[in-house]
Amino acid sequence: MSGHDSKYFSTTKKGEIPELKEELNSQYKDKRKDAVKKVIAAMTVGKDVSSLFTDVVNCMQTENLELKKLVYLYLINYAKSQPDLAILAVNTFVKDSQDPNPLIRALAVRTMGCIRVDKITEYLCDPLQRCLKDDDPYVRKTAAICVAKLYDINAELVEDRGFLEALKDLISDNNPMVVANAVAALAEIQEHSSKPIFEITSHTLSKLLTALNECTEWGQVFILDALSKYRAADAREAENIVERVTPRLQHANCAVVLSAVKMILQQMELITSTDVVRNLCKKMAPPLVTLLSAEPEIQYVALRNINLIVQKRPTILAHEIKVFFCKYNDPIYVKMEKLEIMIKLASDRNIDQVLLEFKEYATEVDVDFVRKAVRAIGRCAIKLERAAERCISVLLELIKIKVNYVVQEAIIVIKDIFRRYPNTYESIIATLCESLDTLDEPEAKASMIWIIGEYAERIDNADELLESFLESFPEEPAQVQLQLLTATVKLFLKKPTEGPQQMIQVVLNNATVETDNPDLRDRAYIYWRLLSTDPEAAKDVVLAEKPVISDDSNQLDPSLLDELLANIATLSSVYHKPAEAFVTRVKTSQRTEEDDFADGSETGNSESPAYAPDSSTSPPASSSSAQYVGREAVAAPAASAAPALVPDLLDLGLDNSSAIVSVDQPATPAGPPLPVLLPAATGQGLQISAQLVRRDGQVFYSMLFENDSQIPLDGFMIQFNKNTFGLAAGGPLQVPQLQPGTSASTLLPMVLHQNISPGPPSTLLQVAVKNNQQPVWYFSDAISFLVFFAEDGKMERSTFLETWKSLPDSNEVSKDFPGIVMNSVEVTLDRLAASNMFFIAKRKHANQEVLYLSAKIPRGVPFLIEITAVIGIPGLKCAIKTPSPELAPLFFEALENLLKS
């Protein structure tokens, strides 16, 4: 509809639907066209005009392209609510797909693909097959995208009718836009399939590189993204690919530039020539700098991506640090990102320039920016040892300005500098002590108290300084109280005179009798016991040498950084989180037992966003231990979701919050009973059974709630404590109100790598559940490692051998299972396959059967498995080789339970 069509949105007529019905059936073409525009206008503003479905469909038989487009728009919107009437339009669609006008042919196929009604899908196949081989490239490129839409509706149909092969043929098309759309469609299909659908070969590589020069900017993005997943055979091929792609760096569209950078960075991993790598780094710098002259929103996206790039290849922008200097009119979010990158690019060569900038920023009016700038000076001091003294000089100059928040931030970073360079810069403590009276922020107070306690023997009036803080001890925040307690103990151990003795009595009394904080009370009791029984041991504990802190400018784990670099120019590179942390697309089949006896077709499909917020509080103790039960895994397409931060709903002090989001929960299928984790006797009548399971390529927490109490229970919420796999709720806990004597089951989608706990790997999952009528219930679950094995873990034999050889011998772990008998190779392989351990090969060694299998856990970590056994005789040996050998005990435990069951 054009700009002058706004009159169709303003009408005060009564009985609008009958009048529209009459106009739609008018014998005059113009009147029918106006009526359709009014219907679309009403639909746009939210009015229900579905009752006019038949009348609008009657207007389809027209040669007017504008009218046809409007009718098609109406059909897309209402076909789902009127599936039976939508069949009326099928004949027109089929007829239009053979129209002499290529625009109408393409429009017909595009619209049929958008109407997600099963009854229409089967009629789409023949027109789509014709359009994929149409003479007009516009029709072919439209049909290519339509295949991806059809795959989302009915994947089996697409495979059976040979659409995937037709799509692959389009990669060799002579029109570059057809090639680009075919690549986009295949990439979309590959995301939803666990099988290899789209693999670039040397032949298709040449076709894609040729099309790259001629297609539109978004076509180039699709092709570059596909090329970034291609692994060149050798360094020479990688250099050739990069040479063909380098001109894209000069493109006006920033999406093309970032996609080209991503592709070049991926191929650079294979290039061995240092000269070639150096030249490529020089070529990538100007386009990245150019992105910073765009509008602020694009600048921010570019800066987030550059932040990742300089962590991997700092030489690219090492000489361009000036472009990251903040301008007065930059938005605060751009300034903050520029500061981060400046810290990463700071070196002994440019530190003087950088410090001048930071010093200037520290005098600006935006308090948050000033704090960040002061902290940046401290981080540069920690990063560059030779520049530390110059950084401290700047900090002291800022302290002399006497601006309260600048002084406090400077004290916080100087404390970190003392940790980084012990016994080096203590001469400035006297200057810091002059600012004691101005401190009012908890972190600054705690930092100053730490400095006084750490260097108490060098500060003549340390006891007086601490005493000034002790006067307000009961009112201070917890972190200040904890530091005061420790600093007073340090003072007493370093100067065991009368003053510190009295202070320690007062502090220990306040921290044990006058406080409700368990952390403070526990620490005070430990100190009290140490001081009263063995003062020398107290010295060894409290005055022990502390580990030197390290530079935190490159904060990302190398494996995560590689994953994010492979996703440059996507949301993943902006959030600095892997896609699975904020995106899960859960495919669910909502079936009944009757459906299972019908044609076996998939009847449900929902996409549900998952939210996984972070929080940082201490975990509760678990109240019960979980019974271990073997997990089942069903092979199906992999899953993928969308993010938002939500508050801690339960206020439980766990490390993950539930999410507020509508999720179509699949019904819990019938199967073995779930293990009881919270018995009714413990849960005041509430009994919870649960088990972690894998279905449709997604991890779920299958739960059963039973109410044996005398009151209805509602408002159920759940949280998970930090754990080895970072498991967190991927949606809210959807449990209806439970009346006394009733039960309800649910499948809770889970996401990984959200709240990972440090320390050795463990299968323990601590859970907290709350409802509106009862207190919070805590319980523990022993999860099976096998539930994390992905459906795409099968390797080719050659890949298996190469991977085995490439891993060092230290990554091989083996274990004997004397009590396990393997009666049949086939039965064992079937059982392992059900848990996504895929058979690669087998051989005979004397009288032993040796089986080789592969599996893969999230983030692409492979497990190469070798099982050796004599058929029918107890005793089985398993050896695995993996980049993560620390997970071997969890794998062996799960394997033993699986083979015993």
pLDDT tens figures, 61-105: 777 888 888 888 888 888 777 777 777 777 777 888 888 888 888
In this predicted model, what pLDDT tens digit does every residue of 179-220 receive, in sequence order? Answer: 999 999 998 888 888 788 888 888 888 888 888 888 888 888
Report the distance separating Cα 891 and Cα 786, nearest Å: 7
pTM over 0.75: no
**What are phi and psi for residue 786, nearest 5 degrees?**
-65, -20
496-499 own/partner pairs: CB under 8 Å, 24+ apart: 496/535, 499/463
Report the distance separating Cα 813 and Cα 237, nearest Å: 36
pLDDT interval class at 8 (50, 70, 90): low
Q: Calculate the average pLDDT of the chain.
A: 82
Report the distance separating Cα 751 and Cα 728, nearest Å: 5
pLDDT interval class at 2 (50, 70, 90): low
pLDDT score recorded for residue 25: 81
> How does strand 812-817 pair with strand 838-845?
unpaired
pLDDT score recorded for residue 353: 92
Range 526-537 average pLDDT: 87
Report the distance separating Cα 76 and Cα 69, nearest Å: 11
Range 251-274 average pLDDT: 89
Q: Is the pLDDT of residue 612 over 90?
A: no
Report the distance separating Cα 484 and Cα 466, nearest Å: 7
Residues paired with residue 751 on neighbouring β-strands, in sequence order? 728
- Which uninterrupted H or E stretch holds 127? helix 118-132
Please give the structure tokens belonging to residue 17: 């639907």
- Could you check whether 5-245 and 676-783 share the same CATH topology? no
Contact 339, 373 (CB under 8 A): yes
Which residue has tokens 């420790």? Answer: 486
Q: Is 221 helix (H, G, I), strand (E, B) or coil?
A: helix
3-state secondary structure 863-890: EEEEEEECCCCCCEEEEEECCCHHHHHH
For residue 395, which of 385, 409, 384 has the smallest C-alpha distance?
A: 409
| Sheet strand arrangement including 743-751 | 676-678, 686-695, 698-707, 743-751, 728-729
pLDDT interval class at 360 (50, 70, 90): very high
In this structure, which CATH number among 2.60.40.10, 2.60.40.1150, 3.40.800.20, 3.40.47.10 belongs to the domain 676-783?
2.60.40.1150
CA 267 vs. chain centroid, Å, equals 24
In this structure, which CATH number among 3.20.20.140, 3.40.50.150, 1.25.10.10, 3.40.50.620 belongs to the domain 5-245?
1.25.10.10
> Could you tell me which residues come within 8 angstroms of residue 404 by beta carbon, excluding any fewer than 6 positions away?
438, 440
> Which sequence spans correspond to the domains of the chain?
5-245, 441-544, 676-783, 788-900
Which residue has tokens 């539109």? Answer: 216
pLDDT score recorded for residue 419: 87
Alpha helices by DSSP H, 384-514: 388-400, 404-420, 429-433, 442-454, 462-470, 478-494, 498-513
494-497 own/partner pairs: CB under 8 Å, 24+ apart: 494/456, 494/457, 494/543, 495/456, 495/457, 495/462, 495/463, 496/535
In this predicted model, what pLDDT tens digit does every residue of 424-477 receive, in sequence order? Answer: 888 888 888 887 878 888 999 999 999 998 888 888 888 888 888 888 888 889
Query: Domain spanning 788-900: which CATH class is it, in words?
Result: alpha beta
CA 415 vs. chain centroid, Å, equals 34
Q: Is 822 helix (H, G, I), strand (E, B) or coil?
A: coil
Q: Is the pLDDT of residue 109 over 90?
A: no
**What are phi and psi for residue 626, nearest 5 degrees?**
-95, 145
**In whole angstroms, how large is the CA radius of gyration of the chain?**
33
Q: Between the CA of residue 714 and those of 134, 737, 776, what are the distances in Å?
A: 58, 4, 13
For residue 796, which of 755, 831, 841 has the smallest C-alpha distance?
A: 841
Please give the structure tokens belonging to residue 629: 């039960």
Which residue has tokens 């599996």? Answer: 855
Please give the structure tokens belonging to residue 690: 């649960």
For residue 505, the one-letter residue type is Q
Q: Is the pLDDT of residue 674 over 60?
A: yes
Contact 736, 755 (CB under 8 A): no
Contact 768, 620 (CB under 8 A): yes
pLDDT interval class at 228 (50, 70, 90): confident
| Sheet strand arrangement including 764-770 | 717-720, 764-770, 777-782
